[in-house]
Amino acid sequence: MIKEYLDNINNKETNSLLVSLKSYALLNNVPIITDDGINFINQMINIKQVKSILEIGTAIGYSAINMALSSEAVITTIERDEKMYEKAIENIRLAKLEKRIEVIYKDALEVDESNLDKFDLIFIDAAKAQSIKFFNKYKTRLNDRGIIITDNLLFHNLVVTPIKDKSLKQLVKKIDNFNNFVVEQEDFDTYIYSIGDGMSLSIKKEVIK
């Protein structure tokens, strides 16, 4: 009851394009970030005065567009699915955000990260089984005191639910492995929140010289 009350107050989307994108995602079974999740990220962007963002997993561009509309940040986002990439490009054009959102059409694990700039925030919202690889690969592109946010860490609460299906059980095990991995990173301060479908916030520690 409390959650419904807060949702009614906090999640009143007024931007017509974002409302349309949420409807499209629902009708076409495209997984996008929850309202709680994107609100949390946008709050962190404002608190940390984030100017540059790297997103792993674009889908239809909903979260990238939302972050851009809520800030002045420049966003680079990576998508491997051609259909999703083309839809994201279309939506970014509709939002007139082409100058602030760049979409890279490639598997994020195949991108040469050394060619990328450094970022204030990295948002990982791609293949759940690859989260450790994404984290290790792209943490080198993070500025000091920058943050990495990873989504879908509770996986609809299946991380604490007995599972019989073998393939699903393997995926949940990989998510659980990431959860334990991320909180143990000595060069980050990390906490996992039960926001949305579970999100970790990892703040990079400053290097003392």
Give the Cα separation of 22 and 16 in Å (integer). 10
Contact 112, 137 (CB under 8 A): no
Q: What is the pLDDT of residue 127?
A: 86
Contact 195, 39 (CB under 8 A): no
Give the Cα separation of 31 and 155 in Å (integer). 12
Query: Could you tell me the CATH number of the domain that includes residue 69?
Result: 3.40.50.150
Classify residue 94: in a domain, yes or no: yes
Q: Determine how β-strand 119-124 pairs with β-strand 142-150.
A: parallel
Number of domains in the chain: 1
Give the HSE-up count for residue 147: Cα atoms under 13 Å, Cβ half-sphere.
20
Tell me the residue range of the domain where 97 lies.
2-204
Average pLDDT, the chain: 92
Q: First vs last Cα of the chain: how many Å apart?
A: 50
Give the Cα separation of 66 and 194 in Å (integer). 21
Classify residue 56: in a domain, yes or no: yes
Classify residue 16: in a domain, yes or no: yes
Classify residue 209: in a domain, yes or no: no
| Per-residue pLDDT tens over the stretch 46-73 | 999 999 999 999 999 999 999 999 999 9
Classify residue 162: in a domain, yes or no: yes
- Mean pLDDT for 151-163 is 83
User: What secondary structure letter does DSSP report for 95?
Assistant: T
Residue 157 binned pLDDT confidence (cut-offs 50, 70, 90): confident
Classify residue 197: in a domain, yes or no: yes
Q: What is the pTM of this model?
A: 0.93
